[in-house]
Structure 1
Amino acid sequence: MGLRGRLVGLAAVAAALVISGCAGPGSDTGAAPEPETADWGDPKGTIEFWDTNANPRLTAKWEELIAAFEKANPDIDVNYVGLPNSSYLQKVQNALATGEIPDVLLIGNDIASLIAQKALVPLDDAFKESGLPDTVDKSMVETERGNSADRKLYKAPLTALSDVIWYRKDWLAEASIKEPKTYDEFFDAAEKLTNPGSNRFGFAFRGGPGSMPPMIAMTYGVSGVGEFFTKEGQATLDSKQNIEAFKRYVGLYGTVSATADISNDYPKIVAAFDGGSAWAMHHNLGSYQDHITALGADKVAGVQPFPNDDGVITATSPAISGLSILADSEKKAAAWKFVEYMSTTGNSGWSETVGQVPALVEAQGDTWVQQSQPLKAVVETAENSKTQYVRLPTYLPDWGAILKTEMEPDFQAVLQKTMTPEDFLSKYATRFEEALADYKENAGN
């Protein structure tokens, strides 16, 4: 695909973000944001940046980008703090409680809770004054506005990341198995490639921290249910189709996965996949470079949800990762200079490192984007007229807490067979309905 085709394809991804990202309550509140930015002071001094998705490879890239930023902005120093994604939310809440906050925070789908706590400063004025509305993907910006009831911008988008099913092509070739095109073929291949005696399993199951996003993506992908909430506000999580799909997904654990996978977090599933003990795993575009470094591009495939018998693909809406400034920061001007740098000069390099769609429109035409097989799969899925995106209710202030602190322990109970799949899904369908009702009431909708 040439440059023009690639940009058209990425525009389709962005359109999918808008279609799925602006369907939440509070997305049609009307008027443009009122100016909120007070005097942020002079852009100088030391700021603290919390990376909430730290690992050795990504930390090394942040340090490189920070060094380049400090060279270009000699009056500003950046203190980098790397936090593991599986536990950062509690650390952020502790920081808010004690007042020992960072100035800049990397944040994804957990942003609504911070907006509700008034922990973040609106970026609308700074964004406009920097000319970023003309250079940053408008659809990603619009998606972020959909996460706040007041439609203000609390996060400068850096990248968009889609969920991905990763598998080893070389394992398939060795076993003379064709690459899967359906979920039936995928589950069948995982079973055939499992050999516990040789420490080879068909799937690296994420049973520990961070287990809910892949569970939701796989459940809806298999079921084909196209919405998280009905128009009447009823959660679809415990629909008949989702119960069946959830049971099928949970059935991977302990059959085609190791029993130790019950505690797996992100580093552990990547270690199993890249280390040669698992044929497949579910994550997002963020692990692409890890796989390429460990295995080589020719041995790995990153694919989107498989279509059903009618050709319909059901994917969860891509998430936006970006930078926010804390409302109580005393160095907002310096913090904004760093955010602005990462939204422009540093955007392509960072996006390539994490293997995600860059927010900077110009960067979307870079060679590395055009040559990325997983990104091609994302683009093709977005361009497919039969693709439907499930809009996850990331605008709910309770979204992150429900997934991490409530659902994860109960999910382990399901894996241990002390809680039934039906009870699990019913409990959280009700929980999400309550959270939606509270959100609507508080938002005045």
Structure 2
Amino acid sequence: MSRRGPLPGLRSRLTAASAIAVGACLALTGCGGSGESSGGDSEITFWDSNASASGTPVWQHIISEFQKSNPKIKVKYVSFPIAQAQAKYDTAIASGGTPDVGLMSTSLLANVAGQQALEPLDDRLAGSSLNGKLSPKLLELVKAAGPDGKLYELPQTTNTGILWYRSDWFKEKNVKPPLTWADFYTAADKLTDSGNNRFGFTIRGGAGSIAQILEFAYAQSGISQFWDASGKTTVNAPQNVAAVEKVVALYKKNTPSADVNNDYLKMNAQFDGGSIAMMQHNLGSYVDHQKALKGKFAGTTVPPSPDGSHVLLSSPVGGLSVFKKSKKKDAGWKFAEFVSSKAMSDYWNSKVGQIPANVDSANEAWVKENPTLESAVKVVSDPKTKIVQMPYYLPEFNAITKADSEPLYQKVLLGQMTVKEFLDQLAGKLNEAQTKYKERKGG
């Protein structure tokens, strides 16, 4: 699951959601899974909030397997794209038409759980066969993303940033793979041949850009905390400013000029189409690269920081949540538990190429068959690896890092704003949101 989904202010969001609740609920098949479905107690409604052509068959298989093991429970599958997830959940909460169980992400969790829409799962996990089988790091991240430290999502998967590169180009030009930051910048320059429409790197300047530039900033600076000792964000620390300046300097020199509008799809199309030597994304794009460039590409986690340790941003953790208004919480939990079991963890994560939350899956053959994934699992699990925990718990976080800041980053790329001005503005909004959060929490 990648970092997505704007979170507008809670009050305005609920007002808008209430106004459109009835119409949206009627438009969305499966609304009213909290007790109004025709299957009675034997039927639960599951919302897949990250629908895709490749993902839907995976969920259909998991549901089929679940129903074989639990013939008395029918699962009604409802899907919609991730871009609609926040609005769909907000509308359902406002109208009282939430599902029984839904696909959740830590990037959405603060808002949805903050509306008191989800059931805490701590006690259920404590009494489950899954207890002790899920990554402690991911459980910690899920609890930290919620409003009160409770477990509102059963983790299933996570992601991490990857630097994908054309291994065949590197070999042709006798250039070192980008395993260090020095190697990365050298390769970006040496593999650029703009006359032949070849560029060393592609910058994500459009939708989704902020998470990626911050990933590069913290990985290069080595700063491992999002908030400093005084409670202020480290986003605009001098080391991060210098790191972003290095990346921005690549724009139009070692990247296409059109990159200022790049979202994931455009960036991915350029790399798979054969005009880009390196791109920054995450494990989720492995399947696309494998189809287009099998045997001609490789991937590595972002290079280590100056002290040799890896500093990674906390990628959103995906999993299932049980909704508080569901009249079938036991059945919803049973499905969530099944999804995070080893067998289904193996199946789902092997299909999408992501890091399983179930620790028993980490050493399976399907992990070893994907060298990039195997390396990522080792780096994420390494005790020396430092993870910068992004403040997904802030209701304003996604709005600040998307709608508010993406246009400013584009101004930076176009030379209309300095990196320091951009990061100072971003930091100011984050500090303000953190102050409000602490006030609401009473400290």
Q: TM-score range by the shorter chain?
A: 0.7 to 0.9
Q: RMSD across aligned C-alpha pairs, in angstroms?
A: 2.7
Displacement, 1:179? Answer: 1.3
Q: 1:145 to 1:93 in 2, by over 3 A?
A: same
Q: Which moved more, 1:90-99 or 1:178-187?
A: 90-99
Residue type at the aligned position of 2:394 = L
Match of 1:153?
A: 151
Match of 2:101?
A: 104
Map 1:352-363 to 2 at 5 A: 352-363=350-361
| Alpha-carbon separation, structure 2, partners of 1:40 and 1:90 | 21
Query: What SS does structure 2 have at the residue aligned with 1:282?
Result: strand
Q: Which moved more, 1:99-108 or 1:164-173?
A: 99-108
Structure with more relative contact order (C-alpha pairs < 8 Å, separation 6 or more): 1
Normalising by structure 2, what TM-score? 0.82
1:118 lines up with 2:116 in the alignment: yes
User: Of the candidates 361, 375, 378, which is equivalent to residue 377 of structure 1?
Assistant: 375
1:152-187, Cα deviation, whole Å (9 max, x unpaired): 110000013221111111111122212123222212
Displacement, 1:98? Answer: 4.3
Match of 1:56?
A: 53
1:316-358, Cα deviation, whole Å (9 max, x unpaired): 2344211112333344333323212201141110111222221
Q: 1:386 to 1:201 in 2, by over 3 A?
A: same
Q: 1:102 to 1:200 in 2, by over 3 A?
A: farther
Residue type at the aligned position of 2:331 = A
User: Of the candidates 314, 318, 334, which is equivalent to residue 317 of structure 1?
Assistant: 314
The count of corresponding residues between Structure 1 and Structure 2 is 405
Moved >6 Å (runs of 4+)? 39-42
Match of 1:238?
A: 236
| Alpha-carbon separation, structure 1, partners of 2:150 and 2:383 | 31
Q: 1:139 to 1:182 in 2, by over 3 A?
A: closer
Normalising by structure 1, what TM-score? 0.82
Displacement, 1:135? Answer: 2.9
| Alpha-carbon separation, structure 2, partners of 1:249 and 1:86 | 27
Match of 1:178?
A: 176
| Alpha-carbon separation, structure 1, partners of 2:179 and 2:353 | 23
Match of 2:161?
A: 163
| Alpha-carbon separation, structure 2, partners of 1:311 and 1:376 | 20
| Alpha-carbon separation, structure 2, partners of 1:180 and 1:224 | 17
User: Of the candidates 32, 43, 52, which is equivalent to residue 45 of structure 1?
Assistant: 43
User: Of the candidates 288, 291, 297, which is equivalent to residue 289 of structure 2?
Assistant: 291
Identity of aligned residues (%): 38
| Alpha-carbon separation, structure 2, partners of 1:350 and 1:228 | 31
Displacement, 1:308? Answer: 4.3
Instruction: Could you tell me which runs of 5 or more consecutive residues in structure 2 were left unpaired when the two chains were aligned.
Output: 1-33
Match of 2:429?
A: 431
| Mapped contact 1:165–1:280 kept (Cα < 8 A) | yes
| Mapped contact 2:362–2:377 kept (Cα < 8 A) | no
| Alpha-carbon separation, structure 1, partners of 2:95 and 2:158 | 32
Residue type at the aligned position of 1:339 = A
Residue type at the aligned position of 1:93 = D
Query: What SS does structure 2 have at the residue aligned with 1:70?
Result: helix
| Alpha-carbon separation, structure 2, partners of 1:226 and 1:218 | 12
Displacement, 1:86? Answer: 4.4
Residue type at the aligned position of 1:188 = T
Q: 1:134 to 1:176 in 2, by over 3 A?
A: closer
Map 1:228-377 to 2 at 5 A: 228-296=226-294, 298-344=295-341, 345-377=343-375
| Mapped contact 2:110–2:147 kept (Cα < 8 A) | no
Q: Which moved more, 1:334-343 or 1:305-314?
A: 305-314
Residue type at the aligned position of 1:425 = L
Displacement, 1:87? Answer: 4.9
1:384-425, Cα deviation, whole Å (9 max, x unpaired): 675433222223232223222322232233333333322211
| Mapped contact 1:86–1:265 kept (Cα < 8 A) | no
Displacement, 1:100? Answer: 4.4
| Alpha-carbon separation, structure 2, partners of 1:413 and 1:222 | 22
1:394 lines up with 2:392 in the alignment: yes
Query: What SS does structure 2 have at the residue aligned with 1:225?
Result: coil
Q: 1:213 to 1:358 in 2, by over 3 A?
A: same
1:51-72, Cα deviation, whole Å (9 max, x unpaired): 32x3322233222222333343
Instruction: Could you tell me which runs of 5 or more consecutive residues in structure 1 were left unpaired when the two chains were aligned.
Output: 1-38
| Alpha-carbon separation, structure 1, partners of 2:255 and 2:329 | 47
